[in-house]
Amino acid sequence: MRSKKIWAIILYVVLLGISLATGFKPGIQTGKNLVNFASQMMMVLPFAFILIGLFEVWVPRQTIEKHLGIGSGIKGHLWAVILSAPMVGGLYVAFPMAYTLYKKGAGLGVIFTFLGASSLCRIPMLIFEASFLGVPFSLARLAVSLPLVIGSSAVLGRILQKKGYQPKMDL
């Protein structure tokens, strides 16, 4: 599997090189988009990973188990929403944080809520949305989508817990 990934990267680089050599505008634009995206991610990700590392070291497992664990109920889901609200970096940061939460004893349903909420109710995204579409729209969207995310996450978490599901932990 690893060799397929390496060959895909080599093919991508070769096609970018051919695009530059021949002046193929869509290929050149693809290369520019890659550089732009990579530079934006390099401005956010290192700091986010440092904060995740500090969270992993400073927050005790017992705290996570108490507030976000299997028996935390609706409070665990609300804590997950609160934890996801100030995040930047989208799912690039949310997935490593969810991995850390799982290692520290958070329940699967709460982790699903965290991932869903980090896609829907990040404060930077809400401010941007409200400035273009208005505060009433943003509040209505949250009022509809957040209960659906919490409810579906709780149900999915219970189903997977009853089946004894364990996520793969090898990265």
One digit per residue, the tens of pLDDT, for the chain of length 171 reads 678 889 999 999 999 999 999 999 999 999 999 999 989 888 888 888 898 999 999 999 999 999 999 888 999 999 999 999 998 878 888 999 999 999 999 999 999 999 999 999 888 889 999 999 999 999 999 999 999 999 999 999 999 989 988 887 765
Q: How large is the greatest C-alpha to C-alpha distance in the chain, in angstroms?
A: 61
Q: pTM to 2 decimals?
A: 0.80
Distances (CA, A) of 150 to 13, 60, 100, 153: 42, 25, 20, 5
Cβ neighbors of 52 (< 8 A, separation 6 or more) are: 93, 96, 97, 100
Question: pLDDT digit string (tens) for 82-94?
Answer: 999 998 878 888 9
In 3D space, the residue among 88, 98, 85 whose CA is nearest the CA of residue 55 turns out to be 98
Question: pLDDT digit string (tens) for 96-123?
Answer: 999 999 999 999 999 999 999 999 988 8
Distances (CA, A) of 68 to 61, 109, 114, 125: 10, 9, 10, 24
Residue 25: which H helix or E strand, with range?
helix 25-58
Domain ranges of the chain: 1-43, 59-162
